Amino acid sequence: MHLTLFRAAQAWLDVNHPNIARLLEVGEHDGRLFVVQRYIEGTPLLESVKRSQMPSVDALAWMRDLASALAYLHRRGIVHGNLSPAALIVDLAGRICVVYLPLDRPVNGNVVDADAVRYASPERLAGASVGAGSDIFVFGAILDEVPIGRPAFPGNDVPQIIRAILDAPPELSHGSPPLNASLVRLIEGCLQGHPGQRYQDIDPVVKRLDVAQRAGRVGPAVRAGHPRARAPARRAPGGYRPSHGRMDGATAPRGVSVG
């Protein structure tokens, strides 16, 4: 176990990104592994959005920077695997930062806590191997939640939340304030149930959030009857709908247009 943790910690030692709390040291004392991580003072992400005078604008900027941090990790072959709003703070300079590094639990571990389940990909819930696509799915869930303050996959207990993730696409057009149609399509591109139908790379997500941020686009509302593409029902591996195509860095999932 020590060797597994040590190797995981070693991978994070080389991570140096302005939106990730840096791991400074890994060592062993009296047979116990220890790590030293940079302390960052700040406020939890969701609380920061509530306090903001321009919550939609700030949320879009923070999520763009989070996507950039994930792109950095994925280029280095690192999957976070346990991303959630609880892992994110906004520091005193107004910058989002990933402060929880998943050194103490395996990426493919069982998910039993309701708050953890809410931010788990379908393949992780099924106990399958996860990759960068799992981070992208969870990023989409957070991106949907942050501007409107409502979880993408609500529920009061674990089975209810799991059903929401596996069976029913979230109603992305609902909420206050409601989301802009192009942002809805971007989120849907992240929340495709089958990993092969999601974005395969988060870099195009960063670029589209750049465009949305410059334009200040979180609203206007998606109309109640908006004919937006519907994501296929999410199924655990073995129950997924067949994949009809993969996304590369420039194309959208089948049935979902982005822009």
Look at residue 49 and tell me if it is in a domain. Answer: yes
Residue 17: both structure tokens together: 């990104």
| Range 21-40 average pLDDT | 87
Look at residue 226 and tell me if it is in a domain. Answer: no
What are the pLDDT digits (tens) for 42-87?
A: 999 999 998 988 888 888 999 999 999 999 999 999 999 889 999 9
Look at residue 257 and tell me if it is in a domain. Answer: no
Look at residue 252 and tell me if it is in a domain. Answer: no
Look at residue 1 and tell me if it is in a domain. Answer: no
Average pLDDT, the chain: 77
Look at residue 155 and tell me if it is in a domain. Answer: yes
What are the pLDDT digits (tens) for 139-172?
A: 999 999 888 788 888 877 888 888 888 875 666 6
User: Quick one: CA dihedral 141, 143, 146, 152, positive or negative?
Assistant: negative
Look at residue 51 and tell me if it is in a domain. Answer: yes
What are the pLDDT digits (tens) for 173-224?
A: 555 556 778 888 899 999 988 888 899 899 999 999 988 877 765 554 333 3
Look at residue 108 and tell me if it is in a domain. Answer: yes
The CATH number of whichever domain residue 52 belongs to comes to 1.10.510.10
> Domain range spanning residue 126?
42-215
Looking at the 3D structure of the chain, how many domains does it have?
Answer: 1
pLDDT at 61 (0 to 100): 92
| Cβ proximity of 83 and 119 under 8 Å | yes
